[in-house]
Structure 1
Amino acid sequence: MSSKKLIIFLVIAAVLIIGLLIATSFLGKHKSEVDLSKKVKPITLTYWRTTDSPGDVSDIINSFHQRYSHISIAVRQIKPEEYERALLEAWAEDRGPDIFSIPLTMLGKYQSKIYPLPSYAVLEVGRKYVTQGLKEETKITLDKISLPNLRQLKETYIDAVSSNIISPDGKIYGFPLALDTLVMYYNRDLLNNAGIAEVPQTWQEFVEEIYRLTILDREGNFVQSGANLGGVDNISHLTDTVALLMMQNGTQMFSNGKASFNQPLAEDPSYFPGVEAVRFYTDFSRQGKETYTWNEAMPKDIEAFISGKLAFYFGWASERQKIRQLAPKLNFDSAPVPQIADTLRPVNIANYNLEVVSFKTKYPDESWAFLMEMTKPEVIKSYLAKTKYPTVHRSLINWQLEDYDLSPFVNGVLTAKVWYTGKNYSLVEEAFKEMIRDVILGRRETILDAINFCVQKVNLTL
């Protein structure tokens, strides 16, 4: 080949290569733009809840929508008694929410219905933004949202959360917005009338005050009751109250994956802390005992409290607003639950809802991005300010301790414990009711026999 022909060949080849590069670059850029445009396609995430009102999360939703304008969040509020049925019916029809809320006690039951936090390091969510300058342009970028590791979770959340939202296989199934703890509500007027100036901090002080707060008529009927302890069907939170007493007394509720609250102390095989806790609880319904203050003829405990006939009501922190709504003129307040005198390890019961992503969602990354944003400490403050719930974030505890209404609840969050994470809490509640009823009616030879039978039933739910 002559040198002239070689030059012509090389020129043609160069032109073809340059053209190919330009075309490839254009097509690649076009494809990239097309891929990014898919990331900002308008979508609506449906979010089902039972607690609070849609307005309580509106600030968070609006803030998220401002950043991700293509993502809308539609909240549906469902009555607690209808919630589980609504979920099951929706899933059976291959529909349902993208995000939903469940009590931690139901996590085991619905774990297969949840899309866990992705195992990859970051979530990628598309976002539109407008450039600044002489000519404003709408651009698309990918936000890379880092997912938390185990250490970050423990540093962010209190122990009652960080030790329970991670499954044995290392998966994270959801995040809570707030904590619920058992507290002791009290009627200020009834305590003042009985000459009680200070709320009891120990169970010994509590027992001494119950006698002064209990009033019976000539027929032996309660005119006024000291506390909602000792009963069965008219006690709202029997299971958690009895579990609290057991744990405060040193009972290990579970061991090696099985219920163990029927076992003696390891350091003293002759002492059964669970037995003594059940005895202490049921003595409040035994005639002849100085602590006699409740029976099955009493109305539902919450009704007795709002009607001014109950001095102490053991309930959840989340019930404060409900009590205020039902009894706006009731002069009541709250305090931490009593502890065993001189204890070095105070114990309280914790519960909370988990916000989770449905296994049916078509938008797992966007759903998890919303939950990640929603549960940031700096974002969740607006929700906590509206609902007056105790925080699950370590960094917000001091902030809430400055709130008069919240301080009794927040005081116990660091020592609060979740005692049950099985698959059927409803059956556990029935088992505990039967245990207490057996003890009160003497249907078992010993208290330990009643507890043993309860343990067998609880094990069936694990």
Structure 2
Amino acid sequence: MSNFKRASLIFLLAFLALPLAGFGCKQGDLEALRQLKEPVVLQWWGVFDDTDSLKDIIASYRALHPNVAIEYRKLRFEEYEQALLKGWAEGKGPDILFIHNTWVGAYEPRLTPLPPALTLPQLIDPQKGVEKSAAEFRETRTLTAQDIKNNFVPPVRDDVVRNNAVYGLPLSVDTVVLFYNRQLLDQAKLTSPPATWSEVKDAVKALTIQNTDGALLQSGINLGGSANNNRAPDLLSLLMLQTGTTMVNPEGRATFNERLSLDGQAFSPGADALRFYTDFARPTKEVYTWNADLPEAQELFAAGRLGLFLGYAYQLPYLRAQGPKVDIGVAPVPHLNTDATDAGRKQVNFANYWIAAVAKQAENPAVAWDFVLFATRPEQATAYLDRVKRPPALRSLIPRYQNDPDLAPFTAQLFTAQTWYRGKQPAGMDAAFRAMIDAAVDGTRTPEDAVGFGAEQVNQTL
């Protein structure tokens, strides 16, 4: 074949290939456009938030993605986990779900971790709308473990990242504070809420009122019991962390029962924390202020019969609604030292929050994760936080809420808030901590024996 014919053949083949190449590119655009026209429904389940709390975020996302509908379902806490398992077993479970920060280890096998990047269809000219604009697939980088550390307050990195994979993102992070009844403190001639645990003991003595039979008419603080103190394991964990207790070792074994040595003296900070906590429920102690006959702590405070209440921001609306006559003050949680530090001269606070995660069974995991990322951006998180009155999870939003009359005490504690890994059966840990408290209160075990037994029980769940 002559050089001229060979060149002509190559040119002809190249020319014929052009329409095919163009057709392939156009098909890719058509597929992106087809997906944008295809309705997508995301089922989102939660416990404490209602639809009104999340409607701004959902509406904003739908404005950008008209083909995506997000249907939110609120369930009762008591039925939530069973409903999740039943829903997934029947193929009717949620695509997105709220899980507690202590549940990540338990739910990890049922979740889809955040991929390094998301590839989703996008309109080239959104102003023209889906009927007139061309479309294309775009790849967007998501968040790494380091991004989580940089963008969110400290506890989040420790909770949502496992084996360098991100399993969820929070809209808010709550911390334990000290609510106080101004009228009761005035009656007890207390000029200010206690700032240290030593001051708490003195305040409790002044606030506690018993009748001639020894029954508690008014209590000082919700420390001492377990059954009628909903967040008892959190409060004991806070005290343990503040006293320098190592809750788990790097291998994930519970170590809150271990003894330490200081100036040649052996001691157990975990047992000391348990002893301090349970003294408030022992009638022989000067600080006796709690027993199993009292109503639940939150209800007792709302009824005006509890001077100091250790609780969270999410409880404030309930306290105000149920106790309209109670003049509620909010103060930072007490610490060991007068400079607001704890063991090792470091301040320790305690975090409690919920995480938006994507289920492994989600039909459209990329879209679900795109929505979660969207929902936790500053502008969307702000709309949510302003509506529900809770402290932020994003570092960048802390200045916005640090002077808020209600949220300032919670927000100020975020940088020093901690949690600890609860294993694959967090409910088992909760039960073990309540059993430790009960055993120490009724005297069936010493605090040292109780934390030792508790650590054994927790290790069975870790």
Normalised-by-shorter TM-score class? over 0.9
Amino acid of the structure 1 residue aligned with 2:427: S
> Structure 1: how far apart are the matches of 2:425 and 2:217?
37
Residue-pair matches, total: 452
Amino acid of the structure 1 residue aligned with 2:121: G
Q: Which residue matches 2:97?
A: 100
After superposing on structure 2, the runs of 4+ consecutive aligned residues of structure 1 that deviate more than 6 Å are: 9-12
Q: Which residue matches 1:145?
A: 140
Of 101, 119, 131, the residue aligned with 1:124 is 119
Q: Which residue matches 1:229?
A: 223
Alpha carbons 1:69, 1:127 under 8 Å: kept: no
Q: Which residue matches 2:308?
A: 312
Alpha carbons 2:432, 2:457 under 8 Å: kept: yes
Which has the higher mean CA deviation after the structures are superposed, 287-296 or 392-401? 287-296
Q: Which residue matches 2:257?
A: 262
Q: Which residue matches 1:219?
A: 213
Q: Secondary structure at the match of 1:285?
A: coil
Supply the RMSD in Å over aligned alpha carbons: 2.2
Of 156, 171, 184, the residue aligned with 1:190 is 184
Q: Does 1:338 align with 2:334?
A: yes
> Structure 1: how far apart are the matches of 2:158 and 2:281?
36
Q: Which residue matches 1:381?
A: 382
> Structure 2: how far apart are the matches of 1:66 and 1:366?
15
> Structure 2: how far apart are the matches of 1:412 and 1:321?
20
| 1:388 to 1:23, Cα distance in 2 relative to 1, 3 A | same
Alpha carbons 2:29, 2:137 under 8 Å: kept: no
1:379 Cα shift? 2.2
Q: Does 1:300 align with 2:274?
A: no
Q: Does 1:59 align with 2:56?
A: yes
Of 69, 72, 92, the residue aligned with 2:69 is 72
Amino acid of the structure 1 residue aligned with 2:257: N
Q: Deviation digits for residues 35-80 of structure 1, max 9, x if unmatched?
A: 2224312211111111221111111111111112222211111121
> Rg larger in 1 or in 2?
1
Alpha carbons 1:236, 1:301 under 8 Å: kept: yes
Q: Which residue matches 2:400?
A: 399
> Structure 1: how far apart are the matches of 2:54 and 2:395?
21
> Structure 1: how far apart are the matches of 2:186 and 2:138?
58
> Structure 1: how far apart are the matches of 2:6 and 2:458?
83
1:92 Cα shift? 0.9
Q: Which residue matches 2:268?
A: 272
Amino acid of the structure 2 residue aligned with 1:50: V
Amino acid of the structure 2 residue aligned with 1:416: A
Q: Which residue matches 2:158?
A: 163
Q: Secondary structure at the match of 1:403?
A: coil
Q: Secondary structure at the match of 1:197?
A: coil
In structure 1, stretches of 5+ residues that fail to align are: none
> Structure 2: how far apart are the matches of 1:290 and 1:106?
38
Q: Secondary structure at the match of 1:254?
A: coil
> Structure 2: how far apart are the matches of 1:26 and 1:439?
77
1:129 Cα shift? 5.4
Amino acid of the structure 1 residue aligned with 2:149: K
> Structure 2: how far apart are the matches of 1:236 and 1:146?
41
1:336 Cα shift? 1.4
1:328 Cα shift? 2.7
| 1:14 to 1:339, Cα distance in 2 relative to 1, 3 A | closer
| 1:247 to 1:107, Cα distance in 2 relative to 1, 3 A | same
Alpha carbons 2:422, 2:429 under 8 Å: kept: no
Q: Secondary structure at the match of 2:123?
A: strand
1:127 Cα shift? 2.4
In structure 2, stretches of 5+ residues that fail to align are: none
Of 202, 213, 224, the residue aligned with 1:208 is 202
Amino acid of the structure 2 residue aligned with 1:214: T
Q: Secondary structure at the match of 1:138?
A: coil
Q: Does 1:91 align with 2:88?
A: yes
| 1:11 to 1:325, Cα distance in 2 relative to 1, 3 A | same
Q: Secondary structure at the match of 2:384?
A: helix
| 1:436 to 1:68, Cα distance in 2 relative to 1, 3 A | same
Q: Secondary structure at the match of 1:259?
A: coil
1:369 Cα shift? 0.8
1:87 Cα shift? 0.8
> Structure 2: how far apart are the matches of 1:411 and 1:246?
21
Q: TM-score under structure 2 normalisation?
A: 0.92
Q: Which residue matches 1:437?
A: 438
Q: Which residue matches 2:279?
A: 283
> Structure 2: how far apart are the matches of 1:377 and 1:75?
21
Alpha carbons 1:131, 1:137 under 8 Å: kept: no
Q: Which residue matches 2:16?
A: 20
Q: Deviation digits for residues 78-105 of structure 1, max 9, x if unmatched?
A: 1211211111111111231111111021
Q: Deviation digits for residues 6-50 of structure 1, max 9, x if unmatched?
A: 98x689847843651343134223322332224312211111111
Q: Which residue matches 1:461?
A: 461
Which has the higher mean CA deviation after the structures are superposed, 279-288 or 26-35? 26-35
Q: Does 1:449 align with 2:444?
A: no
1:350 Cα shift? 0.8
Q: Which residue matches 2:172?
A: 178
> Structure 1: how far apart are the matches of 2:384 and 2:416?
23
Which has the higher mean CA deviation after the structures are superposed, 415-424 or 259-268? 259-268
Q: Secondary structure at the match of 1:360?
A: coil
1:241 Cα shift? 0.8
1:130 Cα shift? 4.2
Q: Secondary structure at the match of 2:298?
A: helix
Q: Deviation digits for residues 269-303 of structure 1, max 9, x if unmatched?
A: 51111121111111112223221111122222112
Which has the higher mean CA deviation after the structures are superposed, 355-364 or 434-443? 434-443
Q: TM-score under structure 1 normalisation?
A: 0.92
> Structure 2: how far apart are the matches of 1:284 and 1:106?
30
Q: Which residue matches 1:48?
A: 45
Which has the higher mean CA deviation after the structures are superposed, 123-132 or 187-196? 123-132
